[in-house]
Chains A and B, each alone.
Chain A
């Protein structure tokens, strides 16, 4: 056991950690066993035809559906961690956001006003009713809700699909900032070629159950 200074103080900002998200022989249903690694602060776009299983792959990495093989974050295998712990660290953003409480703020464990402003919200948004939110507002808030958990890695399923151009830019900048600051590996499902060119370090294509690296 290594003791680092200030570990138990809990007042220092969390130090960025170098983390690599690796997928080892991960297979679900029609998906062939998949192997790849996303390094710290790297953004890998996942593309491919609709229904190819991109969301399924993300859901398997987040350990939301039964699968064979394993995913690991640094030295920690998913199967050896508590599921809730794994999902907090490997933050998955589904394409459609869901809300269970009436008030927006009930869904947040913490709120960073800067992040909220970056996506065009004032902190008062926490007192809004979920039923009054538009689809785009929900998508932006779902991203903020996920980042509030401070995940070590991000799995984003079309995070900007229902946003207008200005907000797409804001969201991309926010995610970029987050992955730099936290050195977080990011897997980003996108259909938008222009967006892939803007955000991706590498591109993976999922087609007919096989994942291949392609040039952006």
Chain B
């Protein structure tokens, strides 16, 4: 494969474009220059670090290190899901609900892909496992946080309707059924749209990267299709699990709507 190695100077040149943008936004008083530069800096540092970590990991292929990195990725994703919700569950549930759904779904689909489809040796070969899991988590994180945010916000806004339905003797899953379904839909729409637009409107990042690094386009495309399917399934399952468990958690053992289990998010 013919990879053209990038020198630090190349990256500095690309970075100068961001600096130029920052200067322009200061002149236009957009108020985003600071955030833009910090974000650019974070991207550099974070990606360098993960590059180092992956380099080390590839040199020492051991299940324990791969699992450790996978866990860290999961926990960070879980925190992100929690932070993105306007109203979230109090206590352990706030963190646990999204994290658990992502864990079950993203890990299961990734391991399935590694074992059954790609068939790497060993099955946890980090060169495949970590990027796959990363893409799975990134997307399920989006889906789950969108779905949970919709679920709790709608339940809050429509508490009168939910209680009216309970009052007339409906079970909790019927009383909140419309809201649960809507939440799952909202969580799944991004990946459905991404699949529908892939290749026509957008060239997915993973495929682009592979092509840039010299992989024949058709090989890159096959991997991209695999990833898309896995993301769709993983996001879908995680979104369904999170919405359903979340909806259940909104009711207690006597089937009462318990909005006091939600707390207002800090950042909004």
A residues with CB within 8 A of B: 62-66, 79, 83-85, 87-88, 91-92, 94, 96-100, 109, 145-146, 149
Contact = CB atoms under 8 A, between A and B. Distances in A.
Contacts of B164: 94, 97-100
B257 interface: yes
Contacts of B166: 64, 83-84, 87
Given A64-B163, A64-B257, A98-B161, A145 B252 contact: no
A85 B256 contact: no
Cβ-closest 4 pairs across A and B: A88-B169, A83-B255, A98-B164, A98-B160
Most buried by B among A87, A96, A97: A87
B256 A100 contact: no
Given A64-B256, A87-B169, A145-B168, A100 B178 contact: yes
Given A97-B164, A100-B161, A66 B256 contact: yes
A83 B172 CA distance: 10
Interface in B209-268: 252, 254-258
A63 B254 contact: yes
Q: How large is the interface on B (under 10, 10 to 19, 20 to 34, 35 or more residues)?
A: 10 to 19
Given A99-B161, A100-B178, A149 B168 contact: yes
Interface string B103-130: 0000000000000000000000000000
Interface string B139-175: 0000000000000000000101101111111110000
Nearest to B254: A83
A46 to B, nearest CB: 17
B161 A88 contact: no
A99 B255 CA distance: 20
A92 to B, nearest CB: 5
Contacts of A65: 256
Most buried by A among B161, B164, B178, B252: B164
A91 B168 CA distance: 7
Contact of B167 (A79, A85, A94, A109): A94
B169 A149 contact: yes
Given A66-B258, A97-B164, 10 more contacts: A66-B254, A79-B254, A83-B256, A84-B171, A87-B166, A94-B163, A94-B164, A100-B165, A100-B178, A149-B169
Contacts of B167: 62, 64, 87, 91-92, 94
Contacts of B161: 98-100
30 contacts: A63-B254, A64-B163, A64-B167, A64-B257, A65-B256, A66-B258, A83-B255, A83-B256, A84-B170, A84-B171, A84-B255, A85-B169, A87-B167, A87-B168, A87-B169, A88-B169, A91-B167, A92-B167, A94-B160, A94-B164, A94-B167, A98-B161, A99-B161, A99-B164, A100-B158, A100-B161, A100-B164, A100-B165, A146-B168, A149-B169
Contacts of B252: 66
Contacts of B170: 84
Contacts of A87: 166-169
B92 to A, nearest CB: 20
A62 to B, nearest CB: 6
Contacts of A100: 158, 161, 164-165, 178
Contacts of B254: 63, 66, 79, 83
Contacts of B163: 64, 94, 98
A66 B258 CA distance: 9
Contacts of B255: 83-84
Contacts of B257: 64
Contacts of B178: 100
A66 B254 CA distance: 9
A49 B166 CA distance: 27
Contacts of A63: 254, 256
Contact of A84 (B158, B160, B169, B258): B169
A92 B168 CA distance: 8
Most buried by B among A94, A100, A145, A146: A100
Contacts of A149: 168-169
B121 to A, nearest CB: 54
Contacts of B158: 100
Contacts of A98: 160-161, 163-164
Nearest to B164: A98
Contacts of A66: 252, 254, 256, 258
A76 to B, nearest CB: 15
